[in-house]
């Protein structure tokens, strides 16, 4: 059985999220999805997700491609592997070739874990949606 892992904030769930989860599930038998906690998102981005962790986790859990959701409390991918012992990690191809992910690839290669880059959906992102929502809220009286 091939066990896969991916993680994200999944704020304002959209088609890009669904595309990643669908593509990941096609490449493994069991898919674990780490949903970033509110605290970790605030620590990284300086802002709270619009949708609280418990609701984001429930949304992701309801997706048929997802076998298990877990809280992502650290961005250290080796910590995730030590906890869940997955065979392959899925990430959007917009990260491919970056210094961070090149190092993660090397680290995981030494323990036999494959990093599989999946197509990033370019026309939509939570960041774009958040910007539009923030602009709309600015003009609300």
**Domain ranges in the chain?**
3-138
CB of 85 within 8 A of CB of 3? yes
* Residue recorded with tokens 């091939």: 2
> Can you give the pLDDT at residue 47?
85
> Can you give the pLDDT at residue 139?
66
Tens of pLDDT, residue by residue, the chain (141 residues): 999 999 999 998 889 999 999 999 999 999 999 999 999 999 988 888 989 999 999 999 999 999 999 999 999 999 999 999 999 999 999 889 999 999 999 999 999 999 999 988 765 555 655 565 555 556 665
Assign a CATH topology to domain 3-138. Answer: Rossmann fold (3.40.50)
The residues near 130 (Cβ < 8 Å, ≥ 6 apart) are: 11, 12, 50
> Can you give the pLDDT at residue 46?
87
* Residue recorded with tokens 């709309």: 136
CA atoms within 13 A on the CB side of 43: 9
> Can you give the pLDDT at residue 44?
87
DSSP annotation of 113 reads P
């Amino acid at each position: 059985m091939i066990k896969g892992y991916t993680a994200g904030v999944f704020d304002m769930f959209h088609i890009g999220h669904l595309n990643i989860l669908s593509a990941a599930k096609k490449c493994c038998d069991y898919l674990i999805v780490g949903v970033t906690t509110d605290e970790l998102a605030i620590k990284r981005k300086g802002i709270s997700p619009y949708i609280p962790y418990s609701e984001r986790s429930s949304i992701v859990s309801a997706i048929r491609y997802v076998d298990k959701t877990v809280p992502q409390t650290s961005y250290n991918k080796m910590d995730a592997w030590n906890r869940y012992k997955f065979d392959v990690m899925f990430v959007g191809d917009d990260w491919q070739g970056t210094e961070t992910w090149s190092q993660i690839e090397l680290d995981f290669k030494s323990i036999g874990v494959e990093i599989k880059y999946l197509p990033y959906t370019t026309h939509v992102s939570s960041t774009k949606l958040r910007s539009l929502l923030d602009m709309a809220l600015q003009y609300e009286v």
